[in-house]
Amino acid sequence: MRKAIWDEYRSKLKSADEAAKLVKSGDAVYYSHFVMFPRNLDAALARRVGEVQDVRIVNVCGMYPAQVATADPEHQSFIYQSSFFSNADRQLSKKGLCYFVPSNYSEAPKKVYKGDLPKPKVVFVKTTPMDENGFFNFGTSVSYIRAACDLAEKIIVEVNEGVPYCLGGANENVHISEVHSIVETEKAPLMAIPRAQASEEEKKIASYILPEIHDGSCLQLGIGGIPNMVGSMIAESDIKDLGVQSEMMCDAFMDLYLKGKINGKYKYSDKTKMIYTFCMGTADLYDFLHRNPACATYMVDYTNTPEYIARNDNMISINNTLQVDLWGQVCSESQGRKHISGSGGQADFVMGASKSKGGKSFLCMRSTRMMGDQKISRIVPDITGIVSVTRAGAQYIVTEYGKFYMKGKSTWEVAEGIISIAHPDFRDELIKAAEDRGIWRKRNKQA
């Protein structure tokens, strides 16, 4: 049996250029996501510019600049799209080379199966080397690539010995029998993401959140300084028996696990396991994940569907945001017309944590940002970007000046609470804006 598997493996070996020639005009080609971006296959497909027309590339947060986009600025051969912008995607977008597809992350597999997203014809997926049973592992990004593989006519794997073998509950592998072509590449480490260092303001924000976390809580942490700071504070606290249900596996979870803080004993399901759908972090984190049975990676509809999140009591969701207005609307993906990231799974976890018994969702930001040498308030009269979480959806808003609980509040109470955690330099003008909008209670005005 093993000999048959390896015979099949050798029969399917191709160069990247040979594999890229399998793409035809009009095909939708799905790339694997985040740091699993298939760089060699992308470069080979880009070399076919002018040979094919209207090939649509579907991706999520590609951490490297897509060569198919830069090779074809007129979009005659390739159209590149992403449903969450990385910095590389954002730079391409500024040049008109990358299009954004709005989506709640939990819905992505369903959109593939239903045909809301282009029907996959070819999948380019970076994987581990094949194991002794004939399986290639998707490494740090399961996301919804298995859904694309289920429908694709040709699955092409880009094998890299530097990819950790990430154990999971389902959908984290593709078998040699499903694979059309195999491209072997050099052993190259995955892109490492340095630990975000928390500012003094972010440390203060984390200090407001820590008292809301108790023994037995289940955690979701987003990317950035605040979630990592919360993790560091928990590590030094007496809090114990934590669980993890998160879309992203980050270094903070590794630290907490190694400190003995995480055991998952009170989770609804997947007890003893930290579940996630993608990972970005340090090289130490990737080493930690390799064949580690304490971690389980799933497709995103399992990790992010609000009803599944809410099954965990005392679910704690901590994410960054960019702007909040006096109505309580939250913008986490743009600054005005400047697109920053995407919807991602933030709304999924805000809703899931809010539905959880004892659950809490925290949307965090520093109260100001700098525009050149000018200080700008992140709390504004009206959102100037894209609403990521509605005023009815948000639960806790946190800045370095405090936290405010949104649920069940009238418009004037929301305005009052939001202004109370704004930077003091901007509170008077925000009060005036609330008066102009009829959402400032008269007794406040008289006081």
Q: What is the mean pLDDT of residues 348-373?
A: 96
Please write the tens of the pLDDT for every residue from 183-236: 999 889 999 999 888 899 999 999 999 999 999 999 999 888 888 889 889 989
Cα–Cα distance, 85 to 90 (Å, whole number): 6
Please write the tens of the pLDDT for every residue from 71-86: 999 999 999 999 999 9
Q: What is the mean pLDDT of residues 365-388?
A: 94
Fold of 200-446: Glutaconate Coenzyme A-transferase (3.40.1080)
Cα–Cα distance, 322 to 355 (Å, whole number): 24
Cα–Cα distance, 352 to 354 (Å, whole number): 5
As a whole number, the mean pLDDT across the chain is: 95
The secondary structure of 241-255 as a DSSP string is -BEEE-SEE-HHHHH
Model confidence at 446, pLDDT cuts 50, 70, 90, reads: very low
| Domain-wise residue ranges, the chain | 2-184, 200-446
Please write the tens of the pLDDT for every residue from 128-172: 999 999 999 999 999 999 999 999 999 999 999 999 999 998 899
pLDDT > 70? residue 442: no
pLDDT > 90? residue 371: no
pLDDT > 60? residue 386: yes
What pTM was estimated for this model as a whole?
Answer: 0.95
CATH C-level class of 2-184 = alpha beta
pLDDT, position 198 = 86
Q: 200-446: same fold as 2-184? A: yes
Task: Tell me 75's DSSP state.
Answer: -
Of 107, 158, 201, 247, the active-site residue reads 247
Give me the percent of the chain exceeding a pLDDT of 90: 90
Cα–Cα distance, 39 to 423 (Å, whole number): 44
201 is catalytic: no
pLDDT, position 447 = 43
